[in-house]
Structure 1
């Protein structure tokens, strides 16, 4: 292939992400156990923005039970997020006090 031709396979610019970046697929839930404490806040904020943009009405943030520190950190972020209508402990089968169920506001 000469320099004027382009491959039909899309590529991702790897220089646009830090070397240790983690790409997380956006689904109806995210398990926050695998993130370091310094990543936790930015991951939650970015996840909420992407989940709302993708049209999810409800998502579950799995933070674990433990001492409740991460749960409180999640809820502080949720309280400041303008797209969040409400949040509560997830139903028992979805994690109970170890997860938070988030309900987004309707898109206008």
Structure 2
């Protein structure tokens, strides 16, 4: 009989305690340089002037994790990942708008 181990890792980001670049990298299982690339292509938005001062919020964590999964699963470039994430967000917003006007089934 096989033993299956399922490990989960949740990172909670509050408004009062945003993540540093190091913490975001750790939460995504990547190097800080990858986070800098996300910032440069606009996938996440850093607050702070210098990389060591950067702070990230829960939306940035969600987008970074989605970016990592798209990059890994589809071998997508970060430019392509940025486009996919933006289009996915737009589709979600449009569906929500249609639901509010009762023109799109749940």
TM-score normalised by L of structure 1: 0.28
Q: Whose Rg is larger?
A: 1
Q: Which has the higher contact order (CA 8 A, sep 6+)?
A: 1
TM-score normalised by L of structure 2: 0.28
